[in-house]
Structure 1
Amino acid sequence: MSFKLLADSCCDLNGELEKKLNIDLIPLTIRVGDHKLVDDKSLDSMELVKLMKDSPTAPQTSCPSPGDYMERFKRAEADNIFVVTLSSALSGSYNSAMLAKKMFLEQIGDKFIHVFDSLSASIAETLISMKLQELIDGNLEKESIVEKANHYISELKTFFILESLDNLVKAGRLSKLKGKIASALNIKPIMGEDGHGNIKEVEKVRSSKKAFRRLVEIIGDQGEKFEDKILGIAHCNAFEKAKELKEEILKRYDFKDIIIVETAGISTVYANDGGVIIAF
């Protein structure tokens, strides 16, 4: 049996993973003021960061259409297609993929298609895609792959630290007054997912260094059996910070591997300049 992996463009990759995974990314679009950007290889994340800083309004994102997914389903030269999307609580990408699956099977119907709601974003989508590739390479039946991948998603944990609160203030999710107070007090929120695909605030910590130390502690509080797991780090213009975080995690936990990737467009919107996202 042949398999193909698809994901929306919130699945952040590095060069090594691009070669390792048999995966195609379907781009979302980003609008910042009068600028419309397609989240594909042509997007410059640093240009996006500058546009967001200069814009008085929050960036807006649009998910791939059902037609975009349909086109990829038709193009895939495989009997079985697995799709990984952004959390359905954050984006319409999952619903678009599900509608495309329904339309495709009604019109053509000669492929097995399963759409996975990541219940997260960014590096979590990356890890799910890596797990799917591992299961495919293990020659498992498609039903077993779906079952094991769903179990993996149910146990996956995601956390991120924001250096900039600008987008939260511009989007009205944080009042200007609270944003000014947080900046004045150098408060760095540690955010995470609530197990249902929504974003929640985990803790507020004074200073970036303390926030990162606390993040390393949270890994121990929230996780177990690290020797069987891969931890992923995605960063927005913060490679040295991500590398230092990796070193601190390695000192305390015996993860099977730790990978670092740079955020593409959609994850850059979430993390903003200096933000770091982890999943394990």
Structure 2
Amino acid sequence: MTWNIVSDSSCDLRMSAFESDLVGFETVPLRLQVGAREFLDNDDLVVPDLLDAMAAEKSASSSACPSPAAFARAFESGDCTVCFTISANLSGTYNAAVMGREMVLEEHPEKKICVIDSKSTAGAMVLLIRKAKALMEAAAGPEDFESICDQLRLYQAALRTCFTLENFDNLIKNGRMRPLVGTLLHSLGIHVIADATPQGTIHVADKARGEAKTYKAITALMRQSKDCTGAEVVISHCENLAGALKLKQQILEDLPVHSVDILPCRGLTSFYAMEKGLILGY
């Protein structure tokens, strides 16, 4: 009997960093289209190359969710599989995973497959994967599968996500921000701070000028959103380790969290966060 965890590549945990003797892990990559070039968001993607291509491309870039068949192939490798996807309100990936599940169950009705909408991305998905791994490793057998899925749904509902951006080029090119606004924000050193709603949509929560005020505003937002006592925090950074380390220190000073881990953004999260962007899951 094999336990299996699947996620799309908006999760910033790379397959090479996952370790377990009992549980498998696979990411199903999204594709990023930048001009005539296509980037596959797998462990081999070189993020600086993607960012350079986006900076040089004058037209809007785009992302494409994985096919149902790609998810089906990942689901076939396990007897009991839990899959986490980026928010269904931001991408068609969740629907593709559900279709992949149905494809597999038609051929293998004995398999157990649960698809959970993270209603988020990045670090929140990392935390879900870590929770699933711990529950699976402690499970007595497949009879615990439904209980594990129920626990993961409750855990997902308790997670929060927020992020801050310094680079607005992608938002401008995709028509989501007026060029004048983006130029003013950048020239004034203003950081946009946003969070994910319970429905998985994006809400602009605050703006701050300069790093120090931005990080204080983030910890204030975290405190308002939930009781962070004992919380695990994952910071994803887009080519901004120095900023992530400063934010980590601010969180540890301001909040009674259990731990703060730092991971580099993969392709999809880099595509939207852009250089120096920071995404928090907690």
Report the TM-score when normalising by structure 2: 0.93
Cα drift, residue 137 of structure 1: 2.1
Runs of 4+ in 1 over 3 A off after TM superposition: 14-17
Partner of 2:114: 114
2:134 alignment partner AA: E
Post-superposition Cα deviations, 1:172-210, rounded to whole Å, max 9, x if no partner, equal 111112212222332210011111111111111122331
- CA RMSD in angstroms comes to 1.6
Supply the distance in 1 between the matched residues of 2:131 and 2:229 (Cα, whole angstroms). 15
| 1:106-255 equivalence runs, <5 A | 106-139=106-139, 141-227=144-230, 229-255=231-257
Kindly, what percent of the aligned residue pairs are identical? 29
Post-superposition Cα deviations, 1:218-243, rounded to whole Å, max 9, x if no partner, equal 2222221521x211100010111111
- Give the conservation status (yes or no) of the 8 Å contact 1:163–1:208: no
Gaps of 5+ in 2: none
2:120 alignment partner AA: S
Partner of 1:54: 56
- Give the conservation status (yes or no) of the 8 Å contact 1:162–1:276: yes
Post-superposition Cα deviations, 1:60-104, rounded to whole Å, max 9, x if no partner, equal 111110111111222x1x320111111111111110010111121
- Give the conservation status (yes or no) of the 8 Å contact 1:87–1:197: yes
Cα gap change, 1:61 to 1:73, in 2 (>3 Å): same
Partner of 2:84: 84
Query: Helix, strand or coil: the match of 2:246?
Result: helix
Supply the distance in 2 between the matched residues of 1:63 and 1:131 (Cα, whole angstroms). 25
Supply the distance in 1 between the matched residues of 2:202 and 2:265 (Cα, whole angstroms). 18
Cα drift, residue 261 of structure 1: 0.5
Supply the distance in 2 between the matched residues of 1:60 and 1:157 (Cα, whole angstroms). 26
Query: Helix, strand or coil: the match of 1:234?
Result: strand
**Aligned pair count?**
277
1:205 alignment partner AA: A
Which has the larger displacement, 35-44 or 52-61?
Answer: 52-61
- Give the conservation status (yes or no) of the 8 Å contact 2:15–2:43: no
Supply the distance in 2 between the matched residues of 1:274 and 1:233 (Cα, whole angstroms). 12
Supply the distance in 2 between the matched residues of 1:15 and 1:213 (Cα, whole angstroms). 33
Query: Helix, strand or coil: the match of 2:18?
Result: helix
Report the TM-score when normalising by structure 1: 0.94
Partner of 2:24: 22
Supply the distance in 2 between the matched residues of 1:44 and 1:12 (Cα, whole angstroms). 14
Partner of 1:34: 36
